[in-house]
């Protein structure tokens, strides 16, 4: 491999890094809202919880089982959105299962 090949590889890596950074910003801007058993979770596609709301019990405490289920459902949906958004970037890599 010559110097020019090494420089081309560095350029390709920078391009891939820039694309990944763009994708991260895009995912951070996509909001997913999940309502599950009376609990609403809003999460970004980069899997950051924005808010959680829902009914309270008589003691004023939220039902943590329902909250946990709602968060897990929101995570599943955010992973699906992220996978769809990243398909164009991954398409040329030929990775199994993608």
Q: Give the pLDDT confidence score for residue 92 in this predicted structure.
A: 55
- E-only strand ranges, 1-78: 31-36, 39-44, 49-53
Domain assignment of residue 98, yes or no: no
> Sign of dihedral through CA atoms 70, 76, 77, 82?
positive
> What's the chain's length in residues?
98
Regarding pTM above 0.75, the answer is no
Torsion (CA) 34, 40, 45, 48 in degrees, nearest 10: -150
Q: Give the pLDDT confidence score for residue 60 in this predicted structure.
A: 57
Domain assignment of residue 96, yes or no: no
Looking at the structure of the chain, the number of domains it has is 1
Domain assignment of residue 50, yes or no: yes
Walk along the chain (98 residues) in steps of 10 and give the mean pLDDT of each run: 77 85 90 88 88 73 77 89 82 54
Domain assignment of residue 39, yes or no: yes
Domain assignment of residue 38, yes or no: yes
Range of the domain at 58: 3-91
55: CATH: 3.30.1310.10
Domain assignment of residue 97, yes or no: no
Q: Give the pLDDT confidence score for residue 98 in this predicted structure.
A: 45
């Amino acid at each position: 491999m010559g110097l020019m090949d090494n420089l081309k590889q560095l350029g390709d890596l920078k391009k891939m890094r820039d694309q990944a950074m763009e994708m991260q910003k895009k995912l951070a801007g996509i909001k997913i809202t999940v309502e599950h058993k009376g609990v609403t979770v809003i999460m970004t596609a980069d899997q950051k919880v924005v808010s959680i709301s829902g009914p309270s019990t008589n003691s004023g405490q939220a039902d943590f089982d329902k909250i946990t289920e709602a968060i897990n459902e929101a995570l599943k949906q955010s992973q699906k959105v992220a996978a769809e958004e990243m398909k164009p970037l991954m398409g040329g890599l030929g990775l199994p299962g993608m």
